[in-house]
Structure 1
Amino acid sequence: MELISQTTLKFRPIGLGLIAIFPAFGFIFEHTSSGLWYIFCLIGLAALCLRYRHSLPLIDDIPIRAGMLVLLLYVLLSAANFWLIDNSDMAGSRLERHLLLLITPFFLFYLFILRPSPTFIFRSFAFGAISMGLYSIWYRLGGQGVRVEGVTHAIHFANASVLLTALSPLPLVYEKRTTPWLWAWCLSGLFLGCLAVLWSLSRGAWIAAFAMLVMTALMLAIRHINNRMAIASVISALALIFAVLWQIDSVENRVRATIEDIEKQQNGDMYTSIGIRFMLWDNAWQTFESSPLFGAGFSGHGERLKESIEEGELKPSMHRFTTEPHNQYLFELAAKGVFGLGSFLLLLAFPLAINFRQLTRGDHRALAIGMVGLTVFIVYAVAGMTITLFDQRRMIHLFGFMYAIILYLHLSNDPKWAP
């Protein structure tokens, strides 16, 4: 056991570094997200086996048990849907991705072996936002394209950027003493993260980012209510962010294109970016109505869409949208019915519920911990309205990562488990 402790201490800096780079680098570099997620799994599994007795109190903790049961319920419903309703190749690929959520408990053991401080975790969020922003600058200046995508779809890159950007100011809330260097670090994450979000040209992410920035300003104002200079700095920084970023030509062009899409739709042309989403949502809803309790399987939406195309109700160009309806909630309903949607909502709400009381305690550290759960809930809840999240491995990895972080932070206030 002593040898294990010495080994952990020796490689702890590397282990902490992997935690810091995982959220951003997984969307910037190919294979990084999957590779690190499996590394977390193997190390966490080894930690559980080698230090089983030491881990028993953690397993017995009621919030940890509840969180794991919620996670398991979502995966089991996906597995039952595959075995009993739809065992197509497409359904199999979706089940494989949902099974990745089962690595979350092992990553939690990984965290408890390394015991990173909440201060380190909060500062690493700003590092992630800065990384996303710097990558976006390189992407645009290098002529890679107008819309920043990373190694995934631009919408998923944008949603990950929103999450890290919203979390980047948390050190200013959590830490008792704030230095000018810490303010510079956090505001850099805020500014560069916003740059990544806007250059991704994702309209849904813009809405989520606006809501999160307003919430961030209120949070910092509450934390530094007696420091007028700090409040003035936050308000000025946010005003500067909006003023500078809104003048970016690509953002202006995207807004103009959205207005044109709405005008075309009003004139009866549904084959626009927005109009196609409405048709996909309608198709998913009809699929749900045909099998409301247990759903029509993961390929149910696509099969119904193909039938509409073959019958001439939709254009052949709609074939490229047969995998998902650009809405996580409707996809859950179409694939797994009301039980599937219920399990997804429970999974989404648990990170918020477990730390919700922290938001009202009045303690600045509890406020910061509670804000993590609230931020994850808002970002995934809003993003799920315009894209299917859990058909993309990186978004599943990121959710599992944040899920474990939230459970870890929940217990970090307990003297028995505090780092």
Structure 2
Amino acid sequence: MTRLPDHFWSSLALFLLPALSLVLPSGYSYGPALLILVSLFSIRVWWGKWQLPKEVWWMWISFALLALSWLIDNWISGERGSAVEKPLKMLMTLPCLLYMAQRPPQSRWLWHGLVIGALGAVGTALYEVFQHLDAWRAGGFRANGYTNAIQFGNIALLLGLLALCGWNVGAPRRVLWRAWLVAGFASGLLASLLSGSRGGWLALALVAVLAMLYLLSIGHWRAIALVAVLSLGGTWIALNIPQLHLQERISQARNEVKAYKEQGNATTSVGARLQMWNFGWHLYLEKPLFGWTQQGYMEQKRQAIDAKQLDPLLAEFNHPHNELLDAAAKRGTVGLLILLAAYASPLLLFFRLLRSTDNFKARALCMAGAVLPVAYVGFGLTQAFLPHNSGVMIYVFLLCGLWAATLTVLTQPFLHRSGC
């Protein structure tokens, strides 16, 4: 009987996470669940081997602090059951990291998983659109898969962006490899457009700036020009495809901003967000240190609605549709700093790795590791993206997998310098 290679289970988990994320109910959970089970059943592989680079420890500590802040908030707010599940899963990234440090995954599984996941997302979106073709043509339907339209569109776009990070990995079949990655990027972008999620556009702009800065730092002027041309050309093409309703969505957003400023109309998508942001900001100013907790936030919102300070339509939302304001209003400056650490620590980890190696495979993984938190910052500007089960599972486990995958291509001297 042929023995499975040591990297098989970690590689399979890293493949399943993006590949199934949007094509099955809770598809983002299969890869992490497999990784948790394997790491626990293989405890003898990593027990006593705690040699992780200090930057990786800082990343995990930021995850643990975020999980702890959520647990405390949930406990004070009287929430149990599923509210405890997400923080516990975040804490379980530690045995997964220790296991993958001993059994690091192969990066090619990740790149293929990202492309297949993006292709699955656009397939799901197109199927839904054809099922509701008349409503979609009228601009009244948005693809949402097995989650809501915002999560679906943003995650699809994320898969496409991450796939594109592997641009220089596929030698010797570079042309076929790049065509495969472009298919993944285009699929993720189209699925995002079909979802009608405008928040993803902000993340796309932030990631484009990050890519330009990276290319500028390594002096790839041709690539910079190509990114600029493709960005401008792609935007122009998308705006001029009437079926995508982009111009309508932009015009609608402008009108909704104007209606809120002039009439206080909070019954629109943009108007509701502007009112919720204002409400969240004022709550933060009232309790700037530890915030109101989830229970306090909902109670204050109920009182504001009763006092006719908020539109009654906002009663159904349990967050202000902004990641930073959500943390600040509910968990104060302490919670806000913890959230910022959860963004910054992986970004610094992968930025340092990026500067420390000339290996093109490692650079591709590090770029993906930098894109992930930057994209989440963009998503979080108009949505509390991370607290969703799909948001947190993809974020923490994919970051852990990206770091572990670099172990197959990084040199030992770096690991030694990092404190291993």
The 1:41/1:140 distance shift into structure 2, 3 A limit, reads same
Cα deviation 1:45-98 (Å, max 9, x = unaligned): 112x2324xx54454543333322222222223333444xx2323x77544323
Deviation at 1:305, TM superposition (A): 0.7
Deviation at 1:395, TM superposition (A): 0.7
Return the alpha-carbon distance in structure 2 between the equivalents of residues 296 and 320 of structure 1: 18
Return the alpha-carbon distance in structure 1 between the equivalents of residues 311 and 356 of structure 2: 55
Confirm or deny that 1:406 pairs with 2:402. Answer: yes
The 1:339/1:284 distance shift into structure 2, 3 A limit, reads same
Cα deviation 1:259-316 (Å, max 9, x = unaligned): 2212322331322211211211222222223322122112222111100112232332
Q: Which amino acid aligns with 2:269?
A: S
**SS of alignment partner, residue 28 of structure 1:** coil
Confirm or deny that 1:39 pairs with 2:31. Answer: no
Cα deviation 1:371-413 (Å, max 9, x = unaligned): 1222012111111111112331111110112221233145441
Deviates most, 130-139 or 197-206: 130-139
Q: Which amino acid aligns with 2:78?
A: S
Please say if residues 7 and 106 of structure 2, whose CA atoms lie closer than 8 Å, have aligned partners that are also in contact: no
Q: Counterparts of 1:77-88 in structure 2 under 5 Å?
A: 77-83=69-75, 86-88=76-78
Confirm or deny that 1:317 pairs with 2:313. Answer: yes
Q: Which amino acid aligns with 2:45?
A: R
Q: Counterparts of 1:85-96 in structure 2 under 5 Å?
A: 86-89=76-79, 93-96=82-85
Return the alpha-carbon distance in structure 1 between the equivalents of residues 7 and 288 of structure 2: 51
Q: Which residue of 1 aligns with 2:238?
A: 245
Q: Which residue of 1 aligns with 2:106?
A: 117
The 1:236/1:129 distance shift into structure 2, 3 A limit, reads farther
Return the alpha-carbon distance in structure 2 between the equivalents of residues 201 and 164 of structure 1: 17
Q: Which residue of 2 aligns with 1:51?
A: 45
Return the alpha-carbon distance in structure 1 between the equivalents of residues 10 and 357 of structure 2: 33
Q: Which amino acid aligns with 1:194?
A: L
Please say if residues 52 and 101 of structure 2, whose CA atoms lie closer than 8 Å, have aligned partners that are also in contact: no
2:294 corresponds, among 293, 298, 304, to 298
Q: Counterparts of 1:5-404 in structure 2 under 5 Å?
A: 8-9=4-5, 12=8, 16-47=11-42, 49-52=43-46, 56-83=48-75, 86-89=76-79, 93-109=82-98, 111-112=100-101, 114-143=103-132, 146-175=141-170, 177=172, 179-213=174-208, 215-216=210-211, 225=220, 241-246=234-239, 247-249=241-243, 250-271=245-266, 272-321=268-317, 323-361=318-356, 363=358, 364-404=360-400
Q: Which amino acid aligns with 2:310?
A: L
Deviates most, 24-33 or 298-307: 24-33
The 1:117/1:10 distance shift into structure 2, 3 A limit, reads closer
Return the alpha-carbon distance in structure 2 between the equivalents of residues 405 and 278 of structure 1: 36
Return the alpha-carbon distance in structure 2 between the equivalents of residues 193 and 42 of structure 1: 30
When the two structures are aligned, how many residues end up with a matched partner? Answer: 404
Deviates most, 359-368 or 270-279: 359-368
Return the alpha-carbon distance in structure 2 between the equivalents of residues 299 and 139 of structure 1: 36
The 1:307/1:73 distance shift into structure 2, 3 A limit, reads same
The 1:70/1:174 distance shift into structure 2, 3 A limit, reads same
Return the alpha-carbon distance in structure 1 between the equivalents of residues 361 and 6 of structure 2: 29
Deviation at 1:338, TM superposition (A): 0.9
Q: Which residue of 1 aligns with 2:418?
A: none
Q: Which amino acid aligns with 1:299?
A: Q
Return the alpha-carbon distance in structure 1 between the equivalents of residues 159 and 235 of structure 2: 18
Q: Which amino acid aligns with 2:328?
A: L
Scaled by the length of structure 2, what TM-score is found? Answer: 0.84
Please say if residues 173 and 220 of structure 1, whose CA atoms lie closer than 8 Å, have aligned partners that are also in contact: no
Return the alpha-carbon distance in structure 2 between the equivalents of residues 406 and 296 of structure 1: 35
Deviation at 1:317, TM superposition (A): 2.2
Deviates most, 298-307 or 16-25: 16-25
Q: Which amino acid aligns with 2:91?
A: L
Q: Which amino acid aligns with 1:64?
A: V
Return the alpha-carbon distance in structure 2 between the equivalents of residues 302 and 292 of structure 1: 17
Deviation at 1:158, TM superposition (A): 1.9
The 1:270/1:105 distance shift into structure 2, 3 A limit, reads same
Q: Which amino acid aligns with 2:238?
A: L
Deviates most, 403-412 or 277-286: 403-412
Q: Which amino acid aligns with 1:62?
A: K
Q: Which amino acid aligns with 1:327?
A: N
Q: Which amino acid aligns with 2:202?
A: I
The 1:343/1:233 distance shift into structure 2, 3 A limit, reads closer
Please say if residues 164 and 182 of structure 2, whose CA atoms lie closer than 8 Å, have aligned partners that are also in contact: yes
Please say if residues 28 and 151 of structure 1, whose CA atoms lie closer than 8 Å, have aligned partners that are also in contact: yes
Return the alpha-carbon distance in structure 2 between the equivalents of residues 411 and 188 of structure 1: 27
Return the alpha-carbon distance in structure 2 between the equivalents of residues 218 and 311 of structure 1: 48
Return the alpha-carbon distance in structure 2 between the equivalents of residues 317 and 215 of structure 1: 37
**SS of alignment partner, residue 356 of structure 1:** helix
Give 5+ residue unaligned stretches, structure 2. 416-420
Return the alpha-carbon distance in structure 2 between the equivalents of residues 82 and 214 of structure 1: 36
Return the alpha-carbon distance in structure 2 between the equivalents of residues 378 and 79 of structure 1: 25
Deviation at 1:334, TM superposition (A): 1.5
Q: Which amino acid aligns with 2:387?
A: D
Please say if residues 162 and 197 of structure 1, whose CA atoms lie closer than 8 Å, have aligned partners that are also in contact: yes
